[in-house]
C-alpha cells in the first residue's frame, strides 16, 4: 500500500518532469487552454457587471407626469395626494415650475439661455416612484388613467429600455453558457490531441511495459496525470489573464464611473467563477487525457 502511494506520487511528479522536457509545446498547450477558459469567464464577468449596473438604475422605473402649463400648484399637490393613495406607488414628489426653472438656471450651460426668457415655460411636474415590485402592467394602466385628466400633458414612463437591457443581458448570459460549453469541448480536444502525440512518442516504453506485465491502469496513469497538469496550469493561466484584464480595465472604469457620480465599480473575479474555471479546466484536462488514452493505448500491443 505504501509502495502503491509512493508510485502514484512518483508518477504524479514524474509526469510533470516529462512535460518540462518539452517546454515549448507544453507552454503552447497551456496557453491555448488558458485562453479557451478565460474567454467565457471574461464574458461572464462582463454580464455580472452589466447586471449590477442595470440593478443600480432601478430608480429609472420612476416616471414623470408633466402637467399642462398654467395649471395651478394646488392642483398639482392634490393630484400628487391622489396618486400617493394608489397601490403600486411608494412616493410622489412635486417639482414646481419655479423649482425646475431654478434648477435649470443653475446647471451648467443653461444659465444664460434661461436668463433670456421672460416667462417660465416649464410646467409643474410630479415624479412618481413606484414600489420595487410594481408590475409593469399596473404602471401602464396608471399612465393611461393619468392621461385622461385634461390637466395632464404628458406621462413619461422610462422602464422600457431598462427592460430591454435586462433582456439583452439574459441573452448574453445564455451566449456565455454556449461559449463555455464549446470552449471546454475545445480544451478536451486540445488536451486529447497533445496526449495522443505523447502516447505516440512513448510507444516503445508502452510496448515494453505491456510485455513486462504492466496493467492498463499502470500504463494509463502517467498520461492521466499529464492531463491533470494541463488542466491545472491552463486554469492558472486563465486566472492570470482575467486578473490582467481587470487591472487594465479598472482605471478607465473608475474614471467613467466618477463621471456618473461613482454609480458603479468594476467587479473582478468572484469565488464561484474562479472555482468554475478551475473545475472546468481540471475536468476538461482529465477528460481529454482519458479520451486519448481510451482510444490509443489499446492500439499499442507488443509486437515481438
Q: Which residues bind another protein (CB under 8 A)?
A: 2-4, 6-7, 204-205, 207-216, 218, 301-302, 304
- Closer by beta carbon to another protein, 101 or else 202: 202
Interatomic CA distance for residues 170 and 180, integer angstroms: 15
CB of 48: closest distance to another protein in angstroms?
49
CB of 208: closest distance to another protein in angstroms?
5
CB of 4: closest distance to another protein in angstroms?
6
CB of 14: closest distance to another protein in angstroms?
11
Question: What's the CA angle centered on 27, arms 203 and 276, to 5 degrees?
Answer: 100
- Closer by beta carbon to another protein, 165 or else 210: 210
* 143 neighbors 157 (Cβ within 8 angstroms): yes
CB of 267: closest distance to another protein in angstroms?
50
Q: Locate cell 482575467: which residue? A: 242
* Beta bridge partners of residue 152, listed in sequence order: 67
- Closer by beta carbon to another protein, 137 or else 304: 304
- Closer by beta carbon to another protein, 23 or else 109: 23
Packing angle, helices 23-56 and 271-296, rounded to 10:
140
Identify the helix (H) or strand (E) that includes residue 130: strand 125-130
CB of 254: closest distance to another protein in angstroms?
55
Torsion of CA 164, 168, 171, 172, to 10 degrees: -170
State whether the Cα torsion 4-10-16-21 is positive or negative. negative
- Closer by beta carbon to another protein, 20 or else 84: 20
- Closer by beta carbon to another protein, 255 or else 303: 303
Three-class secondary structure of residue 132 per DSSP: coil
Amino acid at each position: 500500500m505504501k509502495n502503491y502511494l509512493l508510485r502514484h506520487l512518483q508518477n504524479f511528479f514524474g509526469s510533470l518532469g516529462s512535460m518540462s522536457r518539452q517546454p515549448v509545446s507544453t507552454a503552447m498547450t497551456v496557453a491555448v487552454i488558458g485562453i479557451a477558459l478565460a474567454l467565457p469567464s471574461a464574458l461572464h464577468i462582463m454580464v455580472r457587471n452589466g447586471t449590477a449596473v442595470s440593478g443600480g438604475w432601478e430608480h429609472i422605473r420612476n416616471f414623470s407626469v408633466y402637467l399642462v402649463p398654467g395649471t395651478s400648484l394646488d392642483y398639482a399637490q392634490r393630484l400628487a395626494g391622489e396618486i400617493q393613495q394608489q397601490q403600486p406607488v411608494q412616493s410622489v414628489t412635486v417639482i414646481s415650475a419655479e423649482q425646475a426653472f431654478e434648477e435649470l438656471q443653475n446647471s451648467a450651460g443653461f444659465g444664460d439661455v434661461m436668463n433670456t426668457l421672460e416667462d417660465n415655460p416649464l410646467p409643474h411636474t410630479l415624479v412618481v416612484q413606484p414600489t420595487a415590485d410594481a408590475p409593469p402592467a399596473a404602471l401602464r394602466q396608471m399612465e393611461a388613467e393619468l392621461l385622461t385628466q385634461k390637466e395632464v400633458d404628458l406621462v413619461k414612463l422610462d422602464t422600457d429600455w431598462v427592460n430591454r437591457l435586462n433582456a439583452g443581458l439574459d441573452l448574453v448570459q445564455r451566449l456565455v453558457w454556449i461559449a463555455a460549453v464549446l470552449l471546454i469541448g475545445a480544451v478536451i480536444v486540445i488536451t486529447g490531441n497533445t496526449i495522443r502525440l505523447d502516447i505516440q512518442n512513448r510507444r516503445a516504453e508502452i510496448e515494453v511495459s505491456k510485455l513486462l506485465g504492466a496493467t492498463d491502469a499502470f500504463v494509463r496513469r502517467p498520461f492521466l496525470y499529464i492531463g491533470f497538469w494541463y488542466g491545472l496550469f491552463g486554469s492558472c493561466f486563465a486566472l492570470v489573464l482575467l486578473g490582467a484584464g481587470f487591472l487594465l480595465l479598472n482605471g478607465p472604469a473608475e474614471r467613467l464611473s466618477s463621471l456618473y457620480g461613482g454609480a458603479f465599480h468594476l467587479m473582478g473575479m468572484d469565488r464561484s467563477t474562479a472555482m468554475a474555471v478551475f473545475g472546468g479546466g481540471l475536468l476538461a484536462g482529465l477528460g481529454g487525457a482519458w479520451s486519448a488514452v481510451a482510444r490509443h493505448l489499446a492500439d499499442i500491443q507488443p509486437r515481438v
